[in-house]
């Protein structure tokens, strides 16, 4: 199968590219390298350094004629979406619509979309949330993810474009950006390895569902199957507080510092936890195991 991966030089997208190649698929990447890294792009993979908002995207998809598009390119920082919702919508909604139009015109059969469970469900009525939970996003970022899901449904009904929307929990692991775009685990690990104190916003008792990147990649491989369609959670089913994350990372890094406290951030919800979806085979990676692998990767860099 020929697969085009948007955001394929990024944290999650690049590891999906690696897994697709290992499974014998032909892969093409689209990435504007605002957060993606050149070092994440395999030498044998064609990579187009453009944005999903660019007019050139249509020519790339027309030329490459992929069977399937895996869409991971996005503005992913919830706080930035609160500060600048127009830019967030331009990238995440208008850019995604540009991509879907290109797919429709070029005969792409299926789209796999990186969505967000925590941001879409909002403050939950029950824990963990399954895919039937009401949808009440509180941040512009969550609104854009839900909007693209609705457009995918429309393109399916109107044009027959098959889709899978994978609603991720908080993904962490090797290759994650540690410079503040997103990902508390990467940010904390980077600071601790430099002997700096991590900053916990608010009381630190806000919880998230942290899912290891290998589990996410495995779901993206399963999602290639023709019979897999619709909206599917990808999570661990376990809540962990920011305070707990900080203490475990201090232990793993051996850092001799204590966390500092900062003000709470607007747009952030108090709790989030997803019920693992049907694509997750077996038990999700234990947090302690995933954190140890993540710290080791950062140490090697």
CATH of the domain at 288: 3.90.25.10
Does 181 lie in the same domain as 39?
no
pLDDT at 181: 57
Question: What is the percent of the chain where pLDDT is above 70?
Answer: 98
| Contact residues for 123 (Cβ-Cβ < 8 A; gap 6+) | 136, 138, 269, 270, 271
Provide the CATH number for the domain around residue 46: 3.40.50.720
Residues 75 and 146 in one domain: yes
Catalytic (active site) residue 168: no
Strands 240-241 and 207-208: antiparallel
The token duo for 280 is 């997750």
Q: Are residues 115 and 25 in the same domain?
A: yes
pLDDT tens figures, 220-263: 999 999 999 999 999 999 999 999 999 999 999 999 999 999 98
Q: Are residues 72 and 218 in the same domain?
A: yes
Which of 20, 141, 168, 172 does the annotation list as catalytic? Answer: 141
* Confidence at residue 266, expressed as pLDDT on a 0 to 100 scale: 65
pLDDT at 79: 84
Gap between the Cα atoms of 33 and 179, Å rounded: 15
Query: Checking DSSP bridges between strand 68-71 and strand 260-262, what pairing results, if any?
Result: unpaired
pLDDT value of residue 230: 98
Identify whether residues 225 and 251 lie together within a single domain.
no
What digits encode the pLDDT tens for the residues 104-144?
A: 999 999 999 999 999 999 999 999 999 999 999 999 999 99
**Is a pLDDT exceeding 90 seen at residue 217?**
yes
Q: What is the dihedral of CA 257, 209, 152, 19, to 10 degrees?
A: 70
DSSP secondary structure of 227-278: T--EEEEE--S--EEHHHHHHHHHHHHT-----EEE---TT--S---B---T
* 242/132 same-domain check: no
Count of structural domains within the chain: 2
- In Å, how far are 62, 148, 189, 234 from 155, measured between CA atoms? 18, 10, 41, 23
Nearest to residue 1, comparing CAs of 23, 29, 33? 23
pLDDT in tens, 34-75: 999 999 999 999 999 999 999 999 999 999 999 999 999 999
- State the DSSP H helix or E strand holding residue 22, giving kind and residue range, or none if neither: helix 11-22
The tens digit of pLDDT for each residue in 156-207 reads 999 999 999 999 999 999 999 887 556 899 999 999 999 999 999 999 999 9
Q: What is the residue range of 186's domain?
A: 172-208+238-275+282-300
What does the CA dihedral 235, 80, 145, 276 come to, rounded to 10 degrees? Answer: 0
């Amino acid at each position: 199968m020929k697969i085009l991966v948007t955001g394929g030089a990024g944290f999650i997208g690049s590891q999906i590219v690696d897994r697709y190649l290992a499974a014998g698929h032909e892969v093409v990447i689209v990435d504007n390298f605002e957060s993606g890294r050149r070092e994440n792009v395999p030498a044998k993979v064609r990579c187009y350094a453009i944005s999903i908002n660019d007019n050139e995207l249509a020519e790339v998809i027309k030329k490459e004629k992929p069977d399937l598009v895996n869409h991971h390119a996005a503005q992913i920082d919830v706080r930035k979406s609160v500060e600048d919702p127009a830019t967030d919508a331009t990238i995440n909604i208008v850019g995604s619509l540009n991509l879907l139009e290109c797919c429709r015109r070029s005969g792409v059969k299926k789209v796999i979309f990186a969505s967000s469970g925590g941001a879409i469900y909002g403050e939950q009525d029950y824990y963990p949330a399954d895919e039937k939970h009401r949808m009440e996003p509180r941040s512009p970022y969550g609104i854009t993810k839900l909007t693209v899901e609705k457009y995918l449904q429309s393109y399916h009904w109107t044009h027959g474009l098959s889709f899978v929307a994978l609603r991720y929990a908080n993904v962490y692991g090797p290759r994650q950006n540690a410079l503040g775009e997103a990902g508390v685990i990467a940010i904390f690990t980077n600071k601790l390895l430099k002997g700096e104190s991590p900053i916990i916003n608010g009381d630190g008792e806000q919880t998230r569902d942290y899912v290891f990147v290998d589990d996410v990649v495995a779901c993206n491989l399963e999602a290639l199957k023709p019979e897999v369609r619709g909206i599917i959670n990808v999570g661990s089913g376990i809540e962990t507080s920011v305070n707990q994350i900080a203490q475990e990372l201090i232990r793993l890094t051996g850092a001799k510092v204590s966390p500092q406290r900062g003000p709470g951030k607007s747009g952030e919800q108090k709790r989030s936890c997803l019920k693992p979806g049907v694509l997750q085979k077996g038990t999700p990676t234990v947090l302690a195991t995933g954190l140890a692998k993540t710290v080791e990767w950062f140490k090697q860099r």
